Structure 1
Amino acid sequence: MALRTLNHNIFRLVGGLLVFTTFAILFAVWLATSNHARQQVERELQITQSVFKQVISSREQQLFNSAELLTEDFGFRQAVATRDSATIMSVIENHGQRISADIMALITLDNNVVASTASSLQSAQTFPQQQLLKQAIQDGGAIFFLPLGERLYQIILLTVDAPTPIAVALVGFEIDLELVEDLKAITKLDITVEFNLKDEIKQQISSLPEGISASLSEQTEWDYSFFRLPFVHSQMYASEKFEISELDGQKVWIILSANVQKLFADFNFLQFKITLISMLSIILTLILGAIFSKNLTLPITNLAIMAQGIARGDYNKNIQIVANAKEINNLSIAFKSMQENIVSREAEIQYQASHDLLTRLYNRYEIANIIEQQLTEKQSFVVVGIKINDFRRISDTFGYPIGDACLQQIAKRLLVLRGQSARIGGSELLWIPKSTDVSQIDIYDMRQSLEKTYYFENNIEVNLKISVAILNLPDDGIELDTIFRRMNLTLEDAKSQANYLQIYKQSLEEKYLRKLEILNELKNALNGEDTDLAMFYQPKYHIQRTRVEKMEALIRWHHKKLGFISPELFIPLAEQAGLINQLTNWVIRRVTFDISHWHGQATDLQVAVNLSVHDVVNPKLQRVILTALKEFKVAQNKLAFEITESDLMDDPQTAIEQLKLLRSAGFELAIDDFGTGYSSLAYLKSMPVSELKVDKSFVLNLATQKEDQTIVKSIFSLARNFNLQLVAEGVEDLATLELLAQWGCDWIQGYYISKPMPADAVSGWMNEYSKQNWTKKCEESGL
């Protein structure tokens, strides 16, 4: 449905209400005047009918008096008794002239006319209304309207008594036009007297013209149409018709008629004036309404046009709308304020869309646009990637506010350098130097500037180490995805360099592709039946009991196509790709199977399985362990777990809670590679572990390195204070073993005892070497 304008709606509303109100007033006036006219006509007809009946009653009384004088006259009664026709005729003629009667007659009791003054009722004629004559003889008299010939008479019949009735005298007056006109003069209404003869022929005596009176003959009452149209009257006269006499089929009616044209003339004039005034009011109001609505809607229309311009991004037009309405002016002011706010907000949004809010450097998307623009312009330029090493340690040690402050400070220093800078990740920055020649960029000065000590309140000093990656574009990439991927690869490799600096080279991409291939093959190995993955086991020798009672499970992967793949390579890949839980589940099932198999060969060992932090926080881990133990019918004390200290320090609180669940289920737990973490001592008292494994980096040269000896002895002292057993890994000679035994070490593990062996070699090795006293053997052999 098409929308109408506000101007049109206002015009329709005002015009519609006005027209409705005007017609409502006109209807009310028309209804009131018409109803008043109807009531007035009805009242006049009722009054006239009453007056007419009184006049007829007066005439009846006159007739009665006249007839009584005649019948009381002695001479007349004597003449009637003697049947003296001449005397009777003379008396009734004289008496009729004296009272101005139109008809006088004497009728015998047997219905014969003796004498009559009217030609329509002659002597020796039978009286036409025998019923009326009988009523007169019975009642002593009768008054009636009687048609004789084509004339109508009002007659009275009185008996002539001597002393009993001997005859009936008739006195009558003609109802003629003169009488009707006289009655009209009295009542102020037109009167029509209608009667019919026995042959149903109607006769009329009327003050109205013949055609009009004839049309009123069929009207029994005033036909007033309530819904007549103003100024239109289909009926000129309002009539009231009533019957005044009926005898033997002969009826007499009186029709009273009021001329309604004269009555409605004044009302029509009043309605005309009201209608004219209403029409003029409608026209004037519509004109004024149109002007008002235009003055109201024109500023709104202009504001709407300006709003559309603002929506298109045109913020430069000056909004200056002047209107007669305070609300419109306020709306104009609000639009101007909205325009200014939108300009400010859009600038802020554009800034936020292109900048990192913490450092105020460009964000990843904006620097990508800059790189893409320079590539489009066929420019050669250098992109330097910067990554803060161990940034999480800074946040964990000093708190996240200090970590954020470090990023802000390093961003300020980076902005001083010539070029464009961006933050592309948590602790990753990117710098596009002004110089396009990498040989002219002093990376050393740049690094020194960024690594200079940062000072914060509360005497906090932070020293940063950064890794730097350099790409030469477009030689090292022309697509954004490729550029950012290679930047990440280069930064990752820079962390492993002595100087934390790496320039992109193709071998990094090949190394990356190899990792992808290894990861894909690892998925296949975990999901397939035929796998190259295998479990190897390295013995743990108890010094005091001089025997091997435990093994550490170590996963090995010798791929048919890729060759040997180090766990140090594919395990981190599994962690990054989210496959570590699946890999650990495979290891647990394989180890429990091997334990069960050895048990069948009378080899009873506890095996420790290494867990990553991803495994520890996995809520399904315990269920997987218990399911495997139940499936292969292995006791819970035959399975133990080791977790690397550095992994524990990534999220110590969560790790401790999950480790408590494993410990409460009856599993022994050990901290692996102890001494390489950062805050382990703070959490050691809360960790539900039973062993500490000294990292082999402190054990390999223990016999010759005094520093390592100091560290190891400190760890031993700490473990004793917490009632923890000690395991030293990396033992490769007798001297190291003797030192460890002297210091109270519980278990040793290393090549001096045995290299890791496949599962099917464990039982044989245990039968031959498990109870070997390695210290004594070495002494005997002179080692």
Structure 2
Amino acid sequence: MSTTIAVQISSWYGSNRYNQQQLNQQTSNAKQVLEQYLSSQERLLVTAANVLTADFGFLRAVATSDMQTINSVLHNHSERIQADMMLLTDMSGNVTVSSQMGEGLTEKLTKDSVQRLIENPAKSFFATVGEHVYQLILLPVKAPHVIAYSVIGFEIEQDTVKELKSLTGLDISFYQGDTHLLSSTFRMTSYKAFHDALQAQSSPWLFIDRPAFLTEKIELRSANNAPVFVLLISSLKPLYKQYDEIVFHNTLLAIIAAIIASILSIVFAKTLTVPLSKLGQLAEYYAKGDYLKNIELRGGEEILNLQKSFREMGWQIKQREDEISYQATHDILTGLMNSHTLQKQLQNYLKPNQELLLVAFNIHNFRQINDRLGSDIANACLRMISARLKSIKTVDIQLAARMEGVEFFVILSPLSGHSPNQVVEMFLTELENDFVVLDLNIKLDLNAGITLYPEHGVHSSKMLRRTSIALDAARNGKQRIHYYETGEDEAHLQRISMIESLRKVLLEGGKGELFLVYQPKLSINDKQYIKTEALIRWRREDNTFISPEVFVNLAEEASLIVDLTNWVVRGVLEQVRQWHSDGLFIGAAINVSAQDLASSHFETFISETCAGVGVSPSYITIEITERDIMHDEASVVMSLRSLSRMGFVIAIDDYGIGQSSLSKLKGLPVDEIKLDKSFIMHLDESPKDQLIVKSTIELAHGLGFEVVAEGVENEASLEILKQYHCDQLQGYYFSKPIAAEAVSEWHKDHVENNTITGSVGYDQRG
């Protein structure tokens, strides 16, 4: 009997040790499955992020701060890959644009989290937002240097945890600190309470309370300051149940039961070890992308169910990867090749010893179709263009792709006996034939940019860029067809380089390159009343002078105009304060754009800057052109009224060459209008200009406006303006734009010495 007991005890001890090893192996396999699952998710994130940051249209939109296109690309891309978070940050990690599914979440995503992502690009991190867990990855946006960062993330949801449980056979919980985030068993707000609840559960046996669970903690790479952990929970109850049954049978059957139990334990161990080992091998195949690999297993119901779960996981991952691969290479709406794929495959079509026509075209009247008929009709038109591109037989289309928005790209083969222009005309004519959508006949107006291979280049990136440049020229010049011309590429790259230089200069506070000059404005009725107009200038480090018309227009295109205007406002107010400190109570006019007035921060910024510097708004004139008023009339008028109530003087610049009229201006909060210099420079020689100027001054005075004439260049024009009772004068006849330091000397020579009187000639010193 003692031998039987000794054998039984030895059997129990060996079996317990062996099964403990199997539990550890099961936990290790579960850990490997979890890590491989998260690694697979990371590769999906990297694939999606690479697609986004390589998108040509997206790069160009980010480089030029085209918010509408950026929002559209982020929205479309997030819908394609079903991302839960997609956003764009600037170089400092500040979120600038987010997709709809990222809204609200990005406000809670800490800047430290974004900075950690920036420091570790292309690596997935886990972050908690509220009580939600996200797997995030960041990639830089390069054009060609880093200009922004894109962040894409998927949420680790309750369904994901349940799926992991089915894959590993273990219960899983995510937690951070004392916050219990997700659980496949039951979830408690406090992780400590959850852990204590696990520890409190036991499996009693005779006089002993045995622990009910075996746990293992895994730390995940976290973007938050506090790390995120995964707890693997293995129930010990099945093992205890087996032990209790063995004890019961051994008690009844003694030595025979002990022998049978030993044999059964060995058999059971083998049936568990071999299948788990094979499932580990299957997980390795899945990690390598071989999702169709199958391994035959023999075992109990749990093993077979686990194998079934593994195969289902492999199939689902393969389906998801296939779908993402298709979405990554095709435009979802039209089914055409997308711009990312086009950039990768275009070079394969540019073969030596052949000629090709590369055509980029866009729908000129698409906005009207979308606004008047709705997005459903507009999208139907895009799909029908795709269908027509696939059905055209009159020309040979080798490749067709949708670039972005309403821009498409095709490669045409030359036709014998036809010139390139005839081939393009045939193609566009057939493409422009009326579309019938819901019984509506829709006519499309197309602009097309053309490059010829190999005449205009042999490299795909250069040809794609030059074709896009030709399309921009066609669109801006309102041409149906525009062929790329030598030098346009260089001009385009120069513009981008200049935009980046201007952006850098503004970030560095002007960097000694930007400076202000001031052109005096004189009052006819009050010779002591002097104003100036502040004008910005840019002289680069290499001493190259950039025309204001050039870089101001570039600033507007690249959404830098608000930063540029803010720089001017600070400089002008500081200078006006300095003049006042010197006893010269001179005012200044600042030119602003529609983008400035549309900014929600502009009114607050200029009023707070005035208060901080100590300059009364009454000394500052806000000048805006007619064109900018018409840009967004309702918004601009509201902003002008607000500025007028603050005490700023409001002036309409370049009056007479825009679309406004005095009847419209009477409803605006305007204090003065500036007659465009085209009416003034030859006033003494043009009776028509005299009639226009005289009538405009009389009507403006009748409406209570003061009138400023800019472009006064001779005494004869001055005398005419005096006769017409013009209020203020500005022009080279009095002074060119001069440095701020020269304004006080000019004031002393021309005002304090009272040299501006009657019809006496004015000094023209610059």
What's the TM-score once normalised by structure 1's chain length?
0.48
What's the TM-score once normalised by structure 2's chain length?
0.49
